[in-house]
Chains A and B, each alone.
Chain A
Amino acid sequence: MAEVEVREIRKSFGGGNPAVDGISLTCKNGEYLVLLGPSGCGKTTLLRMIAGLEAPTGGDVLIGGKSVRALPPRARKIAMVFQSYALYPHKKVVQNISFPLEAQGMSAQERMEKVKWAAGLLGIDHLLQRKPRQLSGGERQRVALARALVREPQVFLLDEPLSNLDAKLRASARLELKQFQQRVGVSTIYVTHDQVEAMGLGDRIAVLNQGRLQQVGTPEEIYHHPANTFVATFVGSPPMNLLERDGKLIGFRPENIRLEKNAGSRDDATVFRGHVLRVENLGSDRYVYLRVKDAHGDTNVIAKFAIAEPLEFSNDEDADLVIRNRNINFFDRDSGQKAAA
């Protein structure tokens, strides 16, 4: 395993804005790093540049401290799992898994042992003689992981590997992916647009937008202390509420709101006067849609409560929103960047 680093990396496909616009980022030894962002943010391009499938327009890629910019993908000692899993349709599962080993010129016997080891680890021994088209989505993912594993790569690169699975399978596949990585302990870079996957899997998350790095940090840092309004609103569902006050943007999470009837003013908390538009019951949670009116006009705010918590408000009532000051983030109104209180 090894550390992966990109330095000031840049990629433009000619015309328009660059797909990746000067990103510097390090995935530490054995770390699970998630690249998170909306589609078109450059995360897949960044991953493909690390893999060597795309040549950077500028900057450098280092694996294990050495520049691999001049190396083709095969020489980078990486393994990649594509969104489609890219299983070779004309080869059986066993041939799929041993294909990378053939490239290394390994003997047939050694190859077989390696395949058995990887198949055992992922629980797919019984599928070895099948063709990819005879496998379910979850089985395909495991075959793709086994094929990535036998290479004993320095880095795993995973490109939205869960997006082809149906919603039911995703939670269990996420668990498998995490356990798998913890067992083999290889540095992993994981690309996704799904913030739930990112929060659940990543040791650290790098949030990208429009080809630029917005923030890198642990899931907690990203969630509770977003570096700018993009991260604040992209991560979290429903997103962070933003209100303008005193020339700054005030951000707070829906679950950090308390609703009271006449709250007055507090030292340790900020209070807004609001109006309940609608209460939505989602089974385990309850969303309350509010409108806050002040000097800056109307702003819609969503509050989130566990269903177990009693709610004393219903549609079309006035309510005060109370947010503890330590749960509040401040952003510059113009740049959207984090600002001091």
Chain B
Amino acid sequence: MSEPAVHRTVIIDESFRVHHLLDRESVLGPVMLSPLLIYLVALIGLPLVFVFIYAFSDATTGSDSFGFVGLQTFQTTLEDPVFRIALRNTVVFTVLAQLVVIVLATVLGFVLSADFRGKWFVRFLILLPWTTPVALSALAWLWMLDSLFSPFNWILGNLHVVDQGTPVAWLGQDSLAVGSVVALQAWRTLPLAAVILMAGLTSIPPELSEQAEVDGAGFWRRFFDITMPLLAPIMMVAILFGIVATFTDMAAVYILTRGGPGNATQVLGSWSFYTGIQGGSLAQGAAIGIFMFPVLLGVCILMLRRASQTEVV
């Protein structure tokens, strides 16, 4: 029996030819991770550092040289009335849109979590606002809210709610334009929130609700005492996605109102774009963008907290 054993030892040496460095997990792990990490650091990490460098400089798109000016750029930015409008709008749009989304997504998630005929088609229709590129759906809204040909204007005019001769300028009046942007943001972030909540609802064990029913709790009682508390964590995730999407957006405003009328619907994203790219002031554009950072940092922390909580559970 010693001969086959020798034979097999030969097989061992043969089958173990190359790549032996990659057989070590301590080597393989970093090797597999590094392309992504290098890419992310190079194209997200470093640019993020540059944003801060620009913000403390007088950089423009035209020239390569720039000098440090300390907080001067921030001072100019803070004194700019348009920036103040943009900052306020960004917060207001996000808060209003997400408040609407919380309520509607709960209802929508609830009705979608049941099985029914035609669900596939209904779901397709409901997904449209989320899946369509923002720029294109904003274009559809732009036409829908056209001052002359909006179907809403025709209806309102024929119901004599407004004078037919002076159609409602949905995007031409400050408060209506703000309302339109908020509606667009709520409309396009609603489906994802509803889908996430739907997943949350289906993961709640039905026994809990059934137990409560046996114990004599009515529908609303069960909804607020059982379903809502269990849904709260996942609702948080849904809303965080919505906050990031709304808070950092510029496309919806850029296409629907171009920040107007005047600068009434300008947000940080769009104002940073107008100033930085079209106005050519990298420094100013960066300084405007940086004001998004505290909110995003807050969102990150919430995410971290949320994640560490679930790991415990």
B23 near A: Cβ within 8 Å?
A: yes
A75 touches B12 (CB 8 A): yes
The residue that A72 contacts in the complex, of B1, B5, B9, B23, with Cβ under 8 A, is B23
B117 near A: Cβ within 8 Å?
A: no
B20 touches A74 (CB 8 A): no
Tell me, rounded to whole Å, the shortest Cβ–Cβ distance linking B88 to chain A.
Answer: 51
Whether A64 touches B8, Cβ cut-off 8 Å, given contacts A1-B1, A75-B16, is yes
**Chain B hits for A228, CB < 8 A:** none
A154 near B: Cβ within 8 Å?
A: yes
Instruction: Name which residue of chain A comes closest to B11, CB basis.
Output: A77
**Chain B hits for A2, CB < 8 A:** 5, 8
B15 near A: Cβ within 8 Å?
A: yes
**Chain A hits for B20, CB < 8 A:** 70, 72
* A25 to B282 CA separation, bound complex (whole angstroms): 70
The residue that B9 contacts in the complex, of A29, A64, A70, A74, with Cβ under 8 A, is A64
**Chain A hits for B8, CB < 8 A:** 2, 64, 77, 154
* A74 to B8 CA separation, bound complex (whole angstroms): 13
**Chain A hits for B15, CB < 8 A:** 74-75, 104
* A75 to B8 CA separation, bound complex (whole angstroms): 10
Number of A-B contacts (CB under 8 A): 31
Tell me, rounded to whole Å, the shortest Cβ–Cβ distance linking B43 to chain A.
Answer: 34
Instruction: Name which residue of chain B comes closest to A75, CB basis.
Output: B16
* A301 to B123 CA separation, bound complex (whole angstroms): 69
* A247 to B23 CA separation, bound complex (whole angstroms): 54
Taking residues whose C-beta sits less than 8 angstroms from the other chain, chain A's interface range is 10 to 19
Task: Please report which residues of chain B, range 1-21, place their CB below 8 angstroms from some CB of chain A when the two chains form the complex.
Answer: 1, 5, 8-9, 11-12, 15-16, 20
B1 touches A66 (CB 8 A): no
A76 near B: Cβ within 8 Å?
A: yes
Tell me, rounded to whole Å, the shortest Cβ–Cβ distance linking A269 to chain B.
Answer: 49
Tell me, rounded to whole Å, the shortest Cβ–Cβ distance linking B10 to chain A.
Answer: 11
Taking residues whose C-beta sits less than 8 angstroms from the other chain, chain B's interface range is 10 to 19
A308 near B: Cβ within 8 Å?
A: no
**Chain A hits for B25, CB < 8 A:** 55
A340 near B: Cβ within 8 Å?
A: no
* A238 to B12 CA separation, bound complex (whole angstroms): 46
Instruction: Name which residue of chain B comes closest to A64, CB basis.
Output: B5
**Chain B hits for A68, CB < 8 A:** 12
* A240 to B191 CA separation, bound complex (whole angstroms): 66
**Chain B hits for A104, CB < 8 A:** 15
* A2 to B15 CA separation, bound complex (whole angstroms): 18
* A2 to B7 CA separation, bound complex (whole angstroms): 12
B23 touches A66 (CB 8 A): no
**Chain A hits for B24, CB < 8 A:** 55
Tell me, rounded to whole Å, the shortest Cβ–Cβ distance linking A74 to chain B.
Answer: 7
A167 near B: Cβ within 8 Å?
A: no
* B-contact 0/1 string along A64-105, CB 8 Å cutoff: 101010111011110000000000000000000000000010
B5 touches A71 (CB 8 A): no
* A75 to B5 CA separation, bound complex (whole angstroms): 14
Whether A71 touches B1, Cβ cut-off 8 Å, given contacts A64-B9, A66-B9, A154-B8, is no
**Chain A hits for B12, CB < 8 A:** 66, 68, 71, 75-77
* A66 to B9 CA separation, bound complex (whole angstroms): 9
Tell me, rounded to whole Å, the shortest Cβ–Cβ distance linking A60 to chain B.
Answer: 16
**Chain B hits for A75, CB < 8 A:** 12, 15-16
* A2 to B11 CA separation, bound complex (whole angstroms): 14
Tell me, rounded to whole Å, the shortest Cβ–Cβ distance linking B22 to chain A.
Answer: 9
Tell me, rounded to whole Å, the shortest Cβ–Cβ distance linking A64 to chain B.
Answer: 6
Tell me, rounded to whole Å, the shortest Cβ–Cβ distance linking A77 to chain B.
Answer: 6
Tell me, rounded to whole Å, the shortest Cβ–Cβ distance linking B2 to chain A.
Answer: 10
* A149 to B11 CA separation, bound complex (whole angstroms): 17
Tell me, rounded to whole Å, the shortest Cβ–Cβ distance linking B19 to chain A.
Answer: 9
**Chain A hits for B11, CB < 8 A:** 77
**Chain B hits for A66, CB < 8 A:** 9, 12
Tell me, rounded to whole Å, the shortest Cβ–Cβ distance linking A167 to chain B.
Answer: 29
Instruction: Name which residue of chain A comes closest to B16, CB basis.
Output: A75
* B-contact 0/1 string along A97-129, CB 8 Å cutoff: 000000010000000000000000000000000
* A29 to B2 CA separation, bound complex (whole angstroms): 11
* A1 to B6 CA separation, bound complex (whole angstroms): 11
Instruction: Name which residue of chain A comes closest to B13, CB basis.
Output: A75
* A77 to B14 CA separation, bound complex (whole angstroms): 12
* A32 to B25 CA separation, bound complex (whole angstroms): 31
Chain A residues within 8 Å of B, Cβ to Cβ: 1-2, 29, 55, 64, 66, 68, 70-72, 74-77, 104, 154
Chain A to chain B contacts (Cβ below 8 Å), 16 pairs: A1-B1, A2-B5, A2-B8, A29-B1, A55-B25, A64-B8, A64-B9, A66-B9, A71-B16, A75-B12, A75-B15, A75-B16, A77-B8, A77-B11, A77-B12, A154-B8
Chain B residues within 8 Å of A, Cβ to Cβ: 1, 5, 8-9, 11-12, 15-16, 20, 23-25
Closest 7 CB pairs of A and B: A75-B16, A72-B23, A75-B15, A75-B12, A64-B5, A71-B16, A77-B8
- Known contacts A71-B12, A77-B11, A104-B15, then 10 further A-B pairs from the complex at CB < 8 Å, ordered by chain A residue: A1-B5, A29-B1, A55-B25, A64-B9, A66-B12, A68-B12, A71-B16, A72-B20, A74-B16, A76-B12
